[in-house]
């Protein structure tokens, strides 16, 4: 028969040296704590597909695509970020020239923030329809230019498509791509 013994050690925390102060004087104790950062910087976009309408060749369709949200949980001293947006061409069928609406015919405007948290300056890329931009190149959708700490911003952008006169009937599909840095 074997006997096993376990030895248990108990550690007692000893406080750091206490300051010794003369009567009627201030005796300081340094206290610390840590603020931890969350998951970082991320963007959430609407699930698709999202329809912005139906129109005939030579007309225009537009609609909001749903809420886009940037969440910044970096707890940074300088908590600034820029959200970019661009689009692919939109195609139907085999994607021939008559079955393609190029991204040069696709415009975007962010509109104002629908919600924000945290401190700082939140700046829409395009406040209204008059400032809509074509998505044939990377554009600024929204940004935060000042502030610190955790923050977030949401907006519901509008996509406007100028349907070419040569477009054929069909369901056109493309993507609007957001990113944040």
Domains of the chain (ranges plus CATH)? 41-52+59-180 (2.60.40)
> What is the rounded average pLDDT of the residues 6-17?
47
Instruction: Say yes or no to pLDDT of 18 above 70.
Output: no
Nearest to 152 by CA among 119, 110, 108: 119
152 band by pLDDT with thresholds 50, 70 and 90: very high
Total-model pTM: 0.82
> In sequence order, what are the residues at sequence separation of 6 or more whose Cβ sits closer than 8 angstroms to the Cβ of residue 123?
142, 143, 144, 145
Rounded-to-integer distance, Cα 124 and Cα 86, Å: 15
Contact 142, 64 (CB under 8 A): no
Rounded-to-integer distance, Cα 177 and Cα 137, Å: 11
Min mean pLDDT across 27-31, 100-104, 106-110, 125-129 is at 27-31
Contact 72, 159 (CB under 8 A): no
Predicted pLDDT of residue 9: 45
Rounded-to-integer distance, Cα 29 and Cα 17, Å: 10
């Amino acid at each position: 028969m074997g006997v096993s013994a376990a030895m248990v050690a108990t550690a007692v925390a000893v406080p750091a040296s206490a300051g010794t102060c003369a009567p009627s004087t201030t005796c300081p104790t340094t206290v610390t704590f840590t603020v931890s950062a969350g998951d970082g910087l991320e963007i959430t976009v609407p699930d698709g597909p999202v329809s912005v309408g139906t129109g005939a060749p030579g007309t225009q369709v537009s609609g909001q695509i749903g809420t886009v949200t940037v969440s910044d949980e970096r707890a940074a001293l300088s908590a600034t970020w820029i959200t970019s947006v661009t689009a692919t061409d939109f195609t139907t069928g085999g994607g021939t020239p008559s079955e393609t609406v190029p991204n040069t015919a696709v415009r975007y405007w962010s509109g104002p923030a629908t919600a924000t948290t945290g401190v700082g300056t939140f700046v829409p890329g395009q406040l209204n329809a008059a400032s809509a931009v074509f998505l044939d190149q990377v554009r600024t959708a929204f940004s935060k230019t000042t502030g610190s700490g955790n923050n977030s911003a949401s907006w519901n952008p509008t996509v406007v498509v100028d349907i070419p006169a040569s477009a054929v009937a069909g369901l056109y599909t493309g993507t609007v791509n957001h990113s944040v840095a």
